Structure 1
Amino acid sequence: MEIKTNSEKVRPLSTKGHFRWTVVIWLLIGGIINYLDRANLSIAAPEMIKDLHLSNTDIGLMGTVFSWTYAVMQLPSGWFIDKFGAKKVYSIAVIWWSLMTFLTGTCHKLGAFLGVRFLLGAGEAPCFPTNAKITSSWFPKKERGLATGIWDSSSKWGPALAPPILVTIMAAYGWRALFFITGIIGIVFIIFFIAFYRRPDRSKKLSEEELAYMKEGGAGTEENIQKNTKIKWRDLLKHRSVWGMILGFFCTIWIWNIFLNFLPLYLLKTQHISLAQLGIYASIPWVGGIFGDIFGGYLTKKLTDKGIASPVTAKRSLITICGILSALVVVFIPFVNSLALTITLFTMALCFISAITGSAWALAGDIAPPTMVGSVGAIQNFGGYFGGAFSPVVAGLIADTTGSYSLAFISGGIIAGCASLCYWFIVKKPIEEND
């Protein structure tokens, strides 16, 4: 690969210089904190139910309130990110959600919990659309799948790390300490992030050679936010591919929210493990999610590098295959009794589901024009979490009514499989500025 300099000389374009991958690590850490602040509810739930006389439905309602708010706030979040820049919006968001996490530990009544979870959802909404925006600015199209897989794995690192760490804290200091500590961690993180992060065109640590490589591969710079795009925000909903992403992500997040809110309770009630054992067993399935996210991104990069598929087709193909596999595995979960098989199926399911979410977020950078990546990613996430917000309360009602989670997982698996249909048959054409 070659580029021309201003003096018209031709020199080889090297990928030497990997500072862009440092940016991914920061996004990964921020995402882990984001998910610790969600997963702490599922870890604290058994003690909260005992201490405050709450029900499964109450816990599910907290998850639903969070998800609805998180979903609705995706829409203005994407617009704000594209308009005012990733760093500014992200910094405000982290401070906001960290404060709400801390305040959760001070609540005593269901109404107060619902209010704080409402505000938490608003604060956490910009996190992943911001990551998608930053990724499109820092990475060539062929690398976005892998880069996205790394930072999207944070949504699995959080729940994986949460059980052993937070159960230990809860055993020593009580469930309220979970919310106090995770809230403080977020504030500390954002202070360092603000000092570190710069736009690609303003970064003093990024070499000219690496910047040229990024631009050659289709990466933009965040200066795009200051340009007037030809596409209006509302017109994004006229595109078939955007609707396919909305529907496909809904199918994925439906089962994802059930896992996030009820996996620990499922293990406690069906496998009869102790609270101490929960710290280990509840974390294992999320390791499968981490692997699926990163390996899925790596696989799409290899398919593109070898010329087997375009970046868009590689991601759509992976999503389709993993959607079918996740459906088969999730539906089978209620029919096994042993702890080993249950953990194995949960791990496989999260591996496939995570490969879908990672590729879906990377797909936003391929489908959307550079000026609208934050908006398209946020719209997709809105679809996922607005519809998927029903799943925690539905699962809770099923568990309270039938005394079993079986129907929740069977129906959730079928819905997850529908993601394959949406991403393969509806998501096809990228959005062009002149559309």
Structure 2
Amino acid sequence: MSSRIPARSSTDQTAKARQPTQTRPRTDLDAAALARPKGNIRWVIIALAFLGTAIVYIDRANLSAAVPSIQQQFSLSNTEIGLILSGFFWTYAVAQLFAGWFVDKIGTRRGYALAAILWSIFTAATSLGRGFLSLLGLRLLLGIGEAPAYPSNVKAVREWMPKRERGLATAIFDSGSRVGTALSLPIVVLVISLTSWEFSFVITGILGVIWAAVWYAFYRKPQEHKMVSAEELAYIEAGQESEQDVAATRDRIRWVDLLRFRAVWGMMLGNFCIAFVIYWFVTWFPTYLITSRGFSLPSLGIFGSIPALFAVLLGWLGGYVADLLIRRGWSATRARKTCIIGGLAVSTCILLSLGTDSPAVAIALLSLSYGALTFANASVWLLPGELAPTVKHVGSLAGLMNFAGAVAGILVSIAVGALLDATGGSFTAPLVMTTAFLVLGIITFAFVIKKVEPLKLSEAASAARD
């Protein structure tokens, strides 16, 4: 065998020139360095994702907090309010079918920043609404702008976090939805009391633009980030799954081909059930406290935040437990199903709130229900990253799952409004309905999703050719 090294061809030199100059090779380090890596840039990324999610939900829940003022000013019925609240979810749902692909295509950095600018503009423009049609139209636009947010978050976790830390990372960014919901009540109520409901939308819109600038300036992939230490980069890469060889199949796999897998349908249906209850808290909970429990607007700003804040704590606990079970050797299937099914089972205590006349007891039960739901949700949002065959499919799977959740948002917004008008404002039927969806979610995650493991691209590619 000849020992001569062949000269580089011009093709090899061209390929090398096209490689990103900032990408650093994986560094081999000892076990101690991998166990305690120098640097925590990955957690800074998660903190930014948390802030982005919080702003998304502040913008989204702003209208819910302002509903009493808007409904009185424009003499809108509960059905009309329900349609306005649902308007966001109509476009949000449709856009989810493309939002994940969009983020996969142009990248997490640009995709998330562009989305934030768009949703911030539409949020601020809500202050110009002057009736049913204009408010509905602006909510439709907001749904388009916010669609890439969650696919971007999930993709950032897959790009930056080793598998053993993804549970807590997911719980942290997802808890931004609860923090945003909780903060929207006191912030919006305070702004409305001091100025007007219109000005509250301007303030929250400005927050989104500031965040978009920070995200775009700071976010890079781990291999391209100048602030990531060699130890942290090695730690991240050592904990990543090996990618499937998709050279021959990637170009033939469309996002719609992912729907050929039973696990994807189970993930979507399960998230539909969870999102139905979550969006009840986001859209109708303030109205419930005022009309059914007799809270005033100032007290709403204080006590209305308790369930969301409690949900933040249990959501973080859910992420910690999800990671702990993996570190103790549990399979992904066993760990995820245990956390999800257990959380949903506890969350059914929402039905018990119908049996008490005490507002304090009702809030306690609703807080436990919401908290248990977010405990489960920390593992639910791990599913797109763990079912995805490669990182290039994470955004698409997250978009499909979030599409199902958005459809639930449409249903809960309209159905609750219609039920309230039909029953004279009673929340009994809506709470029974939310409990039924929790039970359906338990059945779905227990029996429809068999294993939590990467989908086999070869199966989808073969089916696509048939």
Q: 1:364 aligns with which of 374, 384, 397?
A: 384
* 2:362 is equivalent to residue 338 of structure 1: no
> Deviation per CA, 1:31-76, whole angstroms, max 9, x where unpaired?
0000000111111000011111112212211121111211111110
Instruction: Flag the 1:158–1:9 CA change in 2: closer, same or farther, 3 A.
Output: closer
Task: Kindly name which structure, 1 or 2, has the bigger radius of gyration based on alpha carbons.
Answer: 2
Quick one: which amino acid aligns to residue 283 of structure 1? S
Tell me by how many angstroms 1:336 deviates. 1.6
Q: In 1, Cα distance between the equivalents of 2:69 and 2:359?
A: 22
CA distance in structure 2 between the partners assigned to 1:11 and 1:295 by the alignment: 28
CA contact (8 A) 1:253 1:384 kept: yes
In the alignment, structure 2 segments of 5+ residues that lack a partner are 1-24, 460-466
Q: Distance in 2 between matches of 1:203 and 1:30?
A: 20
Q: Residues 6, 250 of structure 1: CA spacing in aligned structure 2 closer, same or farther, 3 A cutoff?
A: closer
CA distance in 1, matches of 2:283, 2:408: 16
- Whether the 8 Å CA contact 1:331–1:414 is kept in 2: the answer is no
Q: Which residue of 1 aligns with 2:5?
A: none
- How many angstroms does 1:364 deviate by? 1.2
Q: Report the identity percentage.
A: 36
Q: Is the 8 A contact 1:167 1:279 kept in 2?
A: yes
Distance in 2, matches of 1:354 and 1:278, equals 22
Report matched runs for 1:269-288 at 5 Å.
269-288=291-310
- State the alpha-carbon separation in 2 of the partners of residues 330 and 229 from structure 1: 46
Q: Aligned pair count?
A: 426
Residues 1:394 and 2:394 are matched in the alignment: no
Matched, 1:208 2:262: no
* SS across alignment from 1:153: helix
Question: Are residues 1:433 and 2:454 paired?
Answer: no
Structure 1 residue matching 2:404: 3-state secondary structure = helix
Q: Secondary structure at the match of 1:428?
A: coil
Q: Which runs of 5+ in 1 are unaligned?
A: none
Equivalent runs, 1:26-425 vs 2, <5 Å: 26-218=48-240, 228=250, 231-307=253-329, 309-327=330-348, 329-369=349-389, 370-403=391-424, 404-425=426-447
Q: Deviations over 1:291-325 (max 9, x none)?
A: 12111000011111111x12342122111111122
- Gap change, CA 1:98 and 1:9, over 3 Å in 2: closer
TM-score relative to the length of structure 1: 0.94
Structure 1 SS opposite 2:320: helix
Residue 9 to residue 80, structure 1, CA distance change in 2 (3 Å): closer
- CA offsets, 1:151-191, max 9 Å, x none? 00011001111111221111000111111110111111111
Q: TM-score, normalised by structure 2?
A: 0.88
Contact 2:26 2:237 survives alignment (8 Å): no
Whether the 8 Å CA contact 2:100–2:151 is kept in 1: the answer is yes
**Shift, 1:433, TM fit:** 3.2
| Post-superposition offset of 1:92 | 1.0
Cα offset, 1:421, TM superposition: 1.3
Instruction: Name the SS for the 2:449 alignment partner.
Output: coil
